[in-house]
Structure 1
Amino acid sequence: MIDLTLIGIGTGNPQHLTLQAINALNTVDLILIPNKGAGKDDLAGLRREICDQVIQNRDVKITEFDLPTRDPKTADYRQRVDDWHDAIARVWSDEIHRHLPDGGKVGFLVWGDPSLYDSTMRIADRLQRQQQVEMTVIPGITSIQALTASHAIPVNEIGAPFTITTGRQLRDKGWPDSADTLVIMLDGECSFQSIDATGVKIWWSAYAGMKEEILISGPLAEVSDQIIETRARARTDHGWIMDIYLLRR
């Protein structure tokens, strides 16, 4: 039997870890850390840094594995993602059985919270269907919380709803009718360029909650170019970028 614990670790700041998360990291037998390859190995390094700071139990084994890449030849987006998740699940299974052939407790560190625009639970579910795996999920600080805290703003107006969506949805479908406040995640193309900026304000953050954090806010029409230029420069400097923004009209 494998006990798999998905541990929300916040946005890269070790102080975001809850006591529950720290306890879990100290009670597993194995921690799996994905390596996304050259230019993104800082992400694996940050996970290791967090482990070094909070793990007191030196019997915990930490191992990295190469993360499979999506096949760009598959035209259908959903099929491409499903195939990718299948490949990742196979790598997880191989790593677990290589290091814990007799079973044990496995930990996986998840940026932000495992429930919000993250596929770790879907990948873990594949293992549950294939073998004896018991899954536990520990919540973490989300990039939304880090964004609104750093800008010192509430996520919603008084009594009003807000919508969390993706850059792809904003580009393809425009501003949804569900709310006047949007939180946009998973946007590598600065999709705020696709909407009418009149009367819209943006609060943008890159590396939210981390020491590298960058914050820009203001009327979208006035700061749009600044965000685009800053984002491109930061990505070049670090080799990767995680950003998020809130739009309000």
Structure 2
Amino acid sequence: MSTAVRKILVIGIGSGDPDHLTFAAAKAMRRTDVFFVLGKGREKSALTQLRRDVLDEHLAGPYRIVEAEDPWRDRFQDECAGYAEAVRDWRRRRADVCEKLIREELAPGQCGAFLVWGDPSLYDSTLGILEDIRARGEVTFEHEVIPGISSVSALAARHRINLNRVGRPIHITPGRQLSESLPNDDGDIVVMLDAHESFQHLAGSGVWIYWGAYIGTPDEILIAGPLDEVSGHIRHMRAAARAEHGWIMDTYLLRLHPDGTDS
């Protein structure tokens, strides 16, 4: 039995633009024997192609991709049966898939990689799932994390704004918890994973929104302005984009006093 150790790389690849890849990420990709990809439905083909575009841009020779079906997740059940437990159940099933990929598709001594959108440390499950697999003890491997440009950084760059204001904090929250972090003078809020367009409940708050979808891809959409004026436009564009592509990835910043003044 070989004593060689499997190696797993968790590579942040940015939000879709192949030019967002760092030198460290490109070097990591060049020492990878197999790339693992999880996907589903129309989203599977579109996001897999974006990953292939990144690989084609930065790898000179052929590469190996192994795809697997991402376990189905009932978003309605998430809300009804308890979000935390629903996520734990989905992660257990996802860990089963990833463990099988590592065990059956990655030989001892080889290097495999997961290409993670944005940065692996920000609202992504890959690192936690790998720790769960390691804790099971059925397959052994070492893993390394290569950071990437997050959708948050890309959003600010595309809108040509700073994320922070002088001496002020930034809050990053999923959309489902926006009501607990309503915009106020304690800082600005970056919202991710907002499937329910929670911003629409802030009508009359005087807040500005800097919104972006498919950031860094040819389908990129950017909208900014007073929320009361652009909320309907965002909702219309979001619905049209989802209908066209079958999926959407969007992020936005909520800010009081967009001129940068402190009150």
Give the structure-1-normalised TM-score.
Answer: 0.93
> How many Å apart are 1:56 and its aligned residue?
2.5
Would the alpha carbon gap of residues 111 and 218 (structure 1) be closer, same or farther in structure 2, given more than 3 Å must change?
same
Structure 1 range deviating more: 216-225 or 38-47: 38-47
> How many Å apart are 1:37 and its aligned residue?
1.9
Structure 1 range deviating more: 126-135 or 95-104: 95-104
Match of 1:30 among 21, 34, 41: 34
Q: Distance in 2 between matches of 1:16 and 1:144?
A: 13
CA offsets, 1:194-228, max 9 Å, x none? 22433211111111122211111111111110100
Q: Distance in 2 between matches of 1:94 and 1:238?
A: 30
What is the identity, as a one-letter code, of the residue corresponding to 1:36? K
Task: Show the counterpart of 2:208.
Answer: 201
- Given that 2:42 and 2:247 are in contact with CA atoms closer than 8 Å, whether structure 1 keeps it comes out as no
Structure 1 range deviating more: 132-141 or 174-183: 174-183
- Given that 1:128 and 1:134 are in contact with CA atoms closer than 8 Å, whether structure 2 keeps it comes out as no
Matched pairs, number? 247
Structure 1 range deviating more: 127-136 or 225-234: 127-136
Task: Show the counterpart of 1:244.
Answer: 251
Task: Show the counterpart of 1:148.
Answer: 156
CA offsets, 1:49-72, max 9 Å, x none? 2112212243x4211111111256
> How many Å apart are 1:177 and its aligned residue?
6.1
Task: Show the counterpart of 1:133.
Answer: 141
1:70 aligns with 2:76: no
Would the alpha carbon gap of residues 70 and 103 (structure 1) be closer, same or farther in structure 2, given more than 3 Å must change?
farther
Q: Distance in 2 between matches of 1:62 and 1:15?
A: 21
Match of 1:161 among 154, 169, 174: 169
Within a 5 Å distance, the mapping from 1:1-249 to structure 2 comes to: 1-58=5-62, 60-70=63-73, 75-129=81-135, 130=137, 131-171=139-179, 173-175=180-182, 179-249=186-256
Task: Show the counterpart of 2:261.
Answer: none
Identity %: 45
What is the identity, as a one-letter code, of the residue corresponding to 1:68? P
Q: Distance in 1 between matches of 2:204 and 2:142?
A: 47
Q: Distance in 1 between matches of 2:93 and 2:183?
A: 34
Q: Distance in 1 between matches of 2:183 and 2:208?
A: 16
What is the identity, as a one-letter code, of the residue corresponding to 2:27? N
Would the alpha carbon gap of residues 66 and 178 (structure 1) be closer, same or farther in structure 2, given more than 3 Å must change?
farther
The structure 1 segments of at least 4 consecutive aligned residues displaced by more than 6 Å after TM superposition are none
CA offsets, 1:28-54, max 9 Å, x none? 111101122235420111112211221
RMSD across aligned positions (CA) = 1.7
What is the identity, as a one-letter code, of the residue corresponding to 1:46? L
Q: Distance in 1 between matches of 2:244 and 2:35?
A: 29
- Given that 2:183 and 2:255 are in contact with CA atoms closer than 8 Å, whether structure 1 keeps it comes out as no
- Given that 1:35 and 1:66 are in contact with CA atoms closer than 8 Å, whether structure 2 keeps it comes out as yes
Unmatched segments (≥5 aa) in structure 1: none
CA offsets, 1:146-181, max 9 Å, x none? 11111101111111111111110014x351668331
Q: Distance in 2 between matches of 1:175 and 1:14?
A: 34
Give the structure-2-normalised TM-score.
Answer: 0.88
